[in-house]
């Protein structure tokens, strides 16, 4: 099995449109949640979201091309471009058949779907755009990244709801380990802050209604949590076979060493009581990494700020780590970013990579009222300067999808 390292990072988030500003925001405990501005949410029970601010796709996409992309695809291309530039990979020097792209998006081009459905109803079928289908479909983020960089290796989009981009990164790990590709740009993008998605989530009663205080609405593991906050953005990493990275003198953030994926096979939205499915994904990832549970330094939890998710994930962590669970730092950066759905795992993989490379564990902000059912070291409100040798990232999605990846400090 070939070793795989992370050599590039790229992000578009509610707290920063590049990795530098995103990470500075994370370390400062910045919250990117506020009143919805993309549409009139006044008639909805939830009126807050983690919107990407001042986004300009022209930083790396020609305007004529951007007009043919849904917002989620624009996020994907911009974040992937930053990741590839950060990795300092010269595609002119690469075999394009050995460079792949694996994205994750739970919903895809729903902005385009809403816009074109309105055109159909208000103006008739002749006014539906010829670009409607290629703008809407979920694989187009991966396709546009490949087109931009002439990446001709594996190219696919994973759709496993909120686990999508963690599955994408895990699948990319396997393709490089098995020798199918040398470099894969992997991560996820989502742009679902619109009236249709909001109406659906509101009907499910899944989102926070703390409209009067958006900055404290996302409060994972807090006893007074009342639902997740919908957000948008993208997070991508460049995965690279170790010898390939060393040969070109690449900067290595960390090594990706483990991946586990399962399904609860229980319910379309609720996680299984006790978190058995998530626990098995963690167990498999730890086994795959060849480490012991007590070696895990930090867990970036799925931590959505919903009652059942946070308590069941806590139970899952305790069942896998046993006595070691009390010594592991746990945080949910969704307290700052909100929940980016299919893009969450990509963004949180960046957090883990930087936690390892910089020796810093982010906080769970808005943690004010400890929940006795969530009795872990939640890293409350302020981050910690601490060496991180092994980090684990969990993503749990509707449909019972569970995915976990394990990263560790790179040692030659």
326-356 per-position pLDDT tens digit:
999 999 999 999 999 999 999 999 999 999 9
The residue among 155, 144, 157 whose CA lies nearest residue 107 is: 157
Assigned token pair, 286: 């730890």
- Mean of the pLDDT values across residues 155-180? 98
pLDDT in tens, 28-47: 999 999 999 999 999 999 99
Number of CB atoms found within 10 A of residue 49's CB: 29
Given a contact cutoff of 8 angstroms between Cβ atoms, the answer to whether 388 and 351 are in contact is no
Q: Tell me if residue 389 falls in helix, strand or coil.
A: coil
Residue 371 to residue 351: CA distance in whole angstroms:
25
Residue 392 to residue 375: CA distance in whole angstroms:
18
pLDDT band at 170 (very low <50, low <70, confident <90, very high): very high
- Mean of the pLDDT values across residues 37-65? 97
Residue 33 to residue 15: CA distance in whole angstroms:
9
- Mean of the pLDDT values across residues 159-181? 98
Instruction: Please name the residue ranges forming H helices in 294-406.
Output: 307-321, 334-337, 344-358
- The per-residue DSSP string of 32-48 comes to --EE--SS--TTSS--E
Residue 346 to residue 137: CA distance in whole angstroms:
20
- Return the active site residues: 162, 302, 339
pLDDT band at 54 (very low <50, low <70, confident <90, very high): very high
- Mean of the pLDDT values across residues 234-255? 98
- Which contacts (CB < 8 Å, 24+ apart) does range 39-44 have? 39/193, 39/194, 39/195, 39/198, 40/195, 41/195, 41/198, 44/195, 44/198, 44/199, 44/202
- Mean of the pLDDT values across residues 117-129? 97
Whole-model pTM over 0.75: yes
pLDDT at 371: 97
Phi, psi of 332 (to 5 degrees): -120, 110
Number of CB atoms found within 10 A of residue 203's CB: 10
pLDDT at 262: 98
Domains of the chain and CATH, by start? 4-247 (3.40.47.10), 259-408 (3.40.47.10)
pLDDT in tens, 266-307: 999 999 999 999 999 999 999 999 999 999 999 999 999 999
- Mean of the pLDDT values across residues 219-226? 98
> β-pairing, 155-158 with 254-263?
unpaired
Residue 150 to residue 143: CA distance in whole angstroms:
10
- Mean of the pLDDT values across residues 195-212? 96
CA 79 to chain centre: 12
pLDDT band at 169 (very low <50, low <70, confident <90, very high): very high
Q: In DSSP terms, which residues pair with 259 in a beta bridge?
A: 405
CA 148 to chain centre: 22
The residue among 263, 316, 260, 317 whose CA lies nearest residue 288 is: 260
- Mean of the pLDDT values across residues 387-401? 98
The residue among 292, 317, 331 whose CA lies nearest residue 404 is: 317
Largest CA distance in the chain: 64
């Amino acid at each position: 099995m070939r070793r795989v390292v992370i050599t590039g990072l790229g992000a578009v988030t509610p707290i920063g449109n590049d990795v530098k500003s995103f990470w500075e925001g994370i370390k400062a405990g910045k919250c990117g949640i506020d009143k919805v501005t993309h549409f009139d949410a006044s008639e909805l029970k939830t009126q807050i979201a983690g919107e990407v601010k001042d986004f300009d796709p022209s930083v790396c996409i020609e305007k004529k091309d951007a007009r043919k992309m849904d917002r989620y695809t624009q996020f994907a291309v911009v974040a992937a471009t930053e990741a590839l530039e950060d990795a300092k990979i010269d595609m002119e020097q690469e075999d394009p058949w050995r460079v792949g792209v694996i994205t994750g998006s739970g919903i895809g081009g729903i902005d385009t779907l809403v816009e074109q459905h309105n055109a159909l109803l208000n103006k008739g079928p002749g006014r539906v755009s010829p670009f409607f289908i290629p703008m809407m479909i979920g694989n187009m983020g991966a396709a546009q990244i490949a087109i931009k960089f002439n990446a001709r290796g594996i190219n696919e989009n994973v759709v496993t709801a909120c686990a999508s981009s963690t599955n994408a990164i895990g699948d990319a790990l396997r393709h490089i380990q098995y020798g199918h590709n040398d470099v894969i740009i992997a991560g996820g993008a989502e742009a679902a802050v619109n009236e249709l998605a909001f109406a659906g989530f509101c009907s499910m009663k899944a989102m926070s209604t703390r409209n009067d205080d958006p900055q404290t609405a996302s409060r994972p593991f807090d006893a007074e949590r009342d639902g997740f906050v919908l957000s948008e953005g993208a997070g991508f990493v460049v995965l690279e076979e170790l010898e390939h990275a060393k040969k070109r003198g690449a900067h290595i953030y960390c090594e990706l060493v483990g991946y586990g994926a399962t399904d609860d096979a229980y319910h379309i939205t609720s996680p299984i009581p006790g978190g058995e499915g998530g626990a098995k994904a963690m167990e498999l990832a730890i086994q795959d990494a060849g480490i012991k549970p007590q070696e895990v330094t930090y867990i970036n939890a799925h931590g959505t700020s919903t009652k059942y998710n946070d308590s069941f994930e806590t139970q899952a962590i305790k069942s896998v780590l046993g006595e070691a669970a009390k010594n592991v730092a746990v945080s949910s950066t969704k307290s700052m970013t909100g929940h980016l759905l299919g893009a969450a795992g990509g963004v949180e993989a960046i957090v883990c990579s930087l936690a390892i490379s910089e020796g810093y564990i982010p906080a769970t902000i808005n943690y004010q009222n400890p929940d006795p059912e969530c009795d872990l070291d939640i890293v409350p409100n302020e981050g910690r300067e601490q060496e991180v040798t092994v980090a684990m990232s969990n993503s749990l999605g509707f449909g019972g999808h569970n995915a976990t990846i394990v990263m560790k400090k790179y040692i030659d």
